[in-house]
Amino acid sequence: MKFVDEATIEVVAGKGGNGVASFRREKFIPRGGPDGGDGGRGGTIFAVADRNINTLIDYRYARLHRAKNGENGRGSDQYGAAAPDITLRVPVGTIIHDAETGEVLFDLNQHEQKVVLAAGGQGGMGNIHFKSSVNRAPRQWTPGKEGEHRYLRMELKVLADVGLLGLPNAGKSTLITRISNAKPKIADYPFTTLHPNLGVVRTSPSRSFVVADIPGLIEGASEGAGLGHLFLRHLARTRVLLHLVDVSTPDPDADPVEQAVVDARAIVEELRRYDPELAAKPRWLVLNKLDMVPDPEDTKRRFLELYDWKGPVFGISGLSGEGTQDLIYALQDYLDAEREKEYLSQDQAEADYVAPDPRFDDKRSTADQRPAPRGDDE
């Protein structure tokens, strides 16, 4: 299936049905009074996040979504039927913008999270609501209200804990295949990966994390070169970036370590140009294809000296799997610690929350503020 991570749609909720002016007509009842029913509610359009969907391709071509109108009211106190609602199922991680203003309306980041995209119009009132002591035969009725009409832009940002970053052919797809259940296309040429791939890494029956592999970046990506810039948004929600660097080079005249340092700096520079916040995320260095160099330890030492790197670094071979176990267990421990920090901060925020005193709620009516009657006064 083709991967689509953006779509623009038009949603039109249903109009409410009209109320009706009708009067009871029965034998021997000359003044039966009004019996016009209300109109039915127009159909509402919802969006629901579904973890079983991974693309917005359904909305790339089906752009107009229109709900039906509610039925009109009828005589004999018959209310019009409400129109059926429409539910649009989208991938978890979908952000919905107002296409005209750019405002973020919804962020669907949980399975089965449900939001209203366009509310259906309320049904109009029949003349039974206008009867009074001075108006025994009202002819008033109200029309149904129009449903909401919106133009929306949907943007998918995949939800992953770890994002893989690197040049084309750095070995990202090989690594995600080695450590997870993902099966991306792998070949010996650049730009084999054409869209993001997600893989679940399980370190135990109860511990796991999600890895995202995006197309490789090249120099000039921040200005539109290559494919990677189209998918960098999918790394925005990750907790840590794995920067894969190929320390082997097919060029016999080039120093593989010096070339690897140049490549690593180019990736970081493109990341900074594209999004400084993304560049500021925690980043681990992964030196890949160490099985293809004569002296892996010397290669690693020279790279760190030239690159002047002080953060976490791992030497691996994605093809043979050497070093990958140490990497994934270190990632799992790091992610568990980050999640624990989030839980503690949430608990602290809840503990610090002070509920408003209802005595100072200005929104309450005067009647609500009167003391309740005593039992002997009732």
- Strand arrangement, sheet containing 149-156: 64-66, 6-12, 149-156, 94-98, 104-108
172 in a known ligand binding site? yes
Contact indicator for 164, 284 with CB cutoff of 8 Å: no
287 in a known ligand binding site? no
- Rounded-to-integer distance, Cα 292 and Cα 245, Å: 13
Q: Which residues contact 175 (CB under 8 A, 6 or more apart)?
A: 164, 213, 244, 286, 288, 316, 318, 324
171 in a known ligand binding site? yes
315 in a known ligand binding site? no
145 in a known ligand binding site? no
Q: Do strands 114-118 and 45-50 pair parallel, antiparallel, or not at all (unpaired)?
A: antiparallel
91 in a known ligand binding site? no
170 in a known ligand binding site? yes
213 in a known ligand binding site? yes
206 in a known ligand binding site? no
168 in a known ligand binding site? yes
33 in a known ligand binding site? no
Q: Which residues contact 338 (CB under 8 A, 6 or more apart)?
A: 239
319 in a known ligand binding site? yes
42 in a known ligand binding site? no
| SS (HEC) of 203-251 | EECCEEEEEEECCCCCCCHHHCCCCHHHCHHHHCCCCEEEEEEECCCCC
Neighbours of 129 (CB within 10 A): 16
133 in a known ligand binding site? no
288 in a known ligand binding site? yes
194 in a known ligand binding site? yes
216 in a known ligand binding site? yes
Angle at 337 between CA 93 and CA 240, to 5 degrees: 50
271 in a known ligand binding site? no
Write out the two tokens for 64.
């107009």
16 in a known ligand binding site? no
Neighbours of 317 (CB within 10 A): 20
360 in a known ligand binding site? no
The binding site comprises: 166-173, 191-195, 213-216, 288-291, 317-319
The binding site for GTP comprises: 166-173, 191-195, 213-216, 288-291, 317-319
The binding site for Mg(2+) comprises: 173, 193
